[in-house]
């Protein structure tokens, strides 16, 4: 499959500060790409360069055959961009905000476009209320709806759910998934690992001005290492004795009575471990498998934690 977005060796300095050292990535059509990185890693800067809002010092951004910024106008017609600052006008109603955008884009039937989007984004009841009276979740939904006026092919979202409560975040995730189901390509930045895990097909992890890791959420979780078997014992003495019995494994103490044992050979090795403890006469009070999470990857990649 040929990529819809291709970023090649992009560099950006602000004065003496190098923000993007050498960034390359590709996004496949109809997928959700998640750009992850700590605060200040350069996610917004990269997004601005890709969307033509900021000029790179070096490197290239392609949208299929078209090159940014040479074909900026044609490219910008194909995408929408929802930044961290909402473009919703508080004084106007939801309906008015949407019709205004449709009129500014010289689209036919702006009122029908507005009605359809209000229905799709579950805002019909609030259609005639000033957007200033909307909840945070409703404003985000309206903002996303506004970015879809004109039916763009690619949707850029900069931290789409920052500051939302879990229910509103879930609503927005559902809507983002629906956009993908309609064949849209979505490029989002996020600091929420759960968001990347829930939504994305491909993650790029930005650190020190480079994409240091890339892959599906599952592949990224593998980077964090193997699954662990968590074992709880009746007391500290048994836990210490168990750690000695399992000396051939990598064992870490979670608290005085509990251990975590790395399972480099997969989950089945937990049976061998439990048998080994049983043979040594040690009673395990509780046990469970703990799969690595994107949090573990984030910790490992941002802080170099092993
Ligand atoms: N216009 C600018 N002039 C000077 N420095 C800038 C400019 N824009 C961004 N920076 C710096 O570049 C670095 C990366 O900023 P950027 O906003 O891209 O990071 P981010 O990963 O999006 O962070 P956050 O998650 O906090 O939004 C920061 O140190 C920031 O201060």
Residues 170-205 pLDDT 10s: 888 998 999 999 999 999 998 888 888 899 999 999
Q: What is the distance between the terminal CA atoms of the chain, rounded to a whole angstrom? A: 35
> Could you tell me which of 13, 77, 10, 32 has the C-alpha nearest to residue 202?
32
Cα(105) to ligand 1 centroid in Å equals 30
Q: Say if ligand 1 is within 6 A of residue 44 CB.
A: yes
User: How far apart are the C-alpha atoms of 234 and 129, rounded to whole Å?
Assistant: 60
User: How far apart are the C-alpha atoms of 39 and 189, rounded to whole Å?
Assistant: 11
Omega before 69 within 30 of 0, i.e. cis: yes
Q: Say if ligand 1 is within 6 A of residue 94 CB.
A: no
Instruction: State ipTM.
Output: 0.95
Q: With contact defined as beta carbons under 8 Å apart, do 203 and 214 qualify?
A: yes
Task: List the alpha helices (DSSP H) in the chain.
Answer: 43-50, 72-78, 94-104, 110-120, 136-147, 166-181, 193-199, 217-223, 236-245, 269-279, 294-303
Strand partners, 289: 229
Q: Say if ligand 1 is within 6 A of residue 85 CB.
A: no
Cα(238) to ligand 1 centroid in Å equals 51
Residue 306's pLDDT is what?
Answer: 46
Cα(41) to ligand 1 centroid in Å equals 7
Residue to mutate (ligand 1; options 19, 85, 163, 302; most atoms within 8 A of CB) = 19
Residues 14-71 pLDDT 10s: 999 999 999 999 999 999 999 998 888 899 999 999 999 899 999 999 999 899 888 8
Residue 1's pLDDT is what?
Answer: 59
Residues 195-231 pLDDT 10s: 888 999 999 999 888 998 899 988 888 777 778 899 9
> Which domains, from first to last, does the chain contain?
5-221 (3.40.50.300), 228-290 (3.30.70)
Cα(42) to ligand 1 centroid in Å equals 5
User: How far apart are the C-alpha atoms of 24 and 9, rounded to whole Å?
Assistant: 5
User: How far apart are the C-alpha atoms of 213 and 257, rounded to whole Å?
Assistant: 35
pTM: 0.80
Structural element, H or E, at residue 235: none
CA nearest ligand 1 atom 23, residue: 40
pLDDT at 131 over 50: yes
């Amino acid at each position: 499959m040929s990529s819809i977005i291709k970023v090649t060796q992009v560099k950006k300095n602000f004065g003496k500060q190098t923000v993007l050292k050498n960034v390359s990535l590709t996004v496949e059509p109809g997928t959700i790409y998640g750009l992850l990185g700590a605060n200040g890693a350069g996610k917004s800067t990269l997004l601005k360069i890709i969307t033509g809002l900021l000029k790179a010092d070096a490197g290239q951004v392609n949208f299929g055959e078209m090159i940014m910024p040479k074909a900026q106008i044609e490219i910008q017609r194909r995408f929408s961009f929802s930044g961290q600052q909402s473009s919703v006008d508080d004084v106007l109603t939801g309906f008015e905000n949407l019709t205004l955008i449709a009129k500014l884009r010289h689209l036919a039937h702006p009122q029908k476009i507005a009605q359809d989007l209000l229905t799709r984004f579950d805002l019909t009841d609030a259609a005639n209320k000033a957007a200033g009276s909307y909840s945070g979740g409703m404003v985000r939904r309206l903002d996303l709806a506004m970015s879809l006026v004109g039916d763009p092919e690619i949707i850029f979202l900069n931290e789409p759910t920052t500051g939302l409560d879990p229910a509103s975040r879930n609503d927005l995730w559902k809507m983002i998934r629906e956009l993908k189901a309609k064949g849209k390509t979505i490029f989002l930045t996020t600091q929420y690992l759960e968001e990347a895990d829930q939504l994305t097909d491909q993650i790029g992890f930005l650190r020190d001005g480079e994409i240091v890791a890339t892959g599906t959420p599952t592949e990224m979780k593998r980077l964090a290492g193997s699954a662990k078997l968590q074992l709880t014992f009746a007391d500290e003495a048994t836990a210490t004795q168990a750690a000695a019995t399992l000396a051939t494994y990598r064992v870490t103490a979670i608290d005085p009575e509990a251990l975590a044992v790395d399972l480099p050979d997969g989950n089945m090795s937990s049976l061998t471990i439990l048998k080994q403890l049983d043979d040594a006469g040690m009673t395990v009070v509780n046990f469970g498998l703990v799969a690595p999470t994107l949090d573990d990857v984030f910790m490992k990649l941002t802080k170099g934690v092993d």
